[in-house]
Structure 1
Amino acid sequence: MHNRCCACAYQLLCKRTTAVVRPKILTVSTTYPISFSNMTYLFQQLILSLSATYPISSSNITHIYQRQEEGES
């Protein structure tokens, strides 16, 4: 996936679309129809790019599980 696509996906995820990004999204969506498999692939690539930026450590995983358990109780 191109860096430009990852940037667009990240901006969409964070709801920070700019005037420059919006026309690109409209252009891309007509060229590449949005389907469940396309969105799945897009978010997989986004997660991979974010995990490279924010490495997952054992302490982060422990923190995530602790928060999940607190939410269940």
Structure 2
Amino acid sequence: MNMQNTQNSDISQSFREKKSSKFLDPCQKESINSMKCLDKNNYDKGKCKDLFILYRECKKKWLEKRRELRRKGSL
């Protein structure tokens, strides 16, 4: 199983297991890393560009997966 399939499987499992009142953000790690980078680099966004790209890509994949699951009636 490749990394993409593993990540999608993990996201799907997380959605199935989460409590209805609990917020789930599978991109939390990327978000935290981006904020830490900003803190470390005196909020110079240029030094954290790669981390912002990783965060955006994660969010994009997460939203695409959620849309797909909604279309299938699984979410």
What is the TM-score of this pair, normalised by structure 2?
A: 0.33
Larger RCO: 1 or 2 (CA < 8 Å, sep 6+):
1
Please say which structure displays the higher CA radius of gyration.
Answer: 1
What is the TM-score of this pair, normalised by structure 1?
A: 0.34
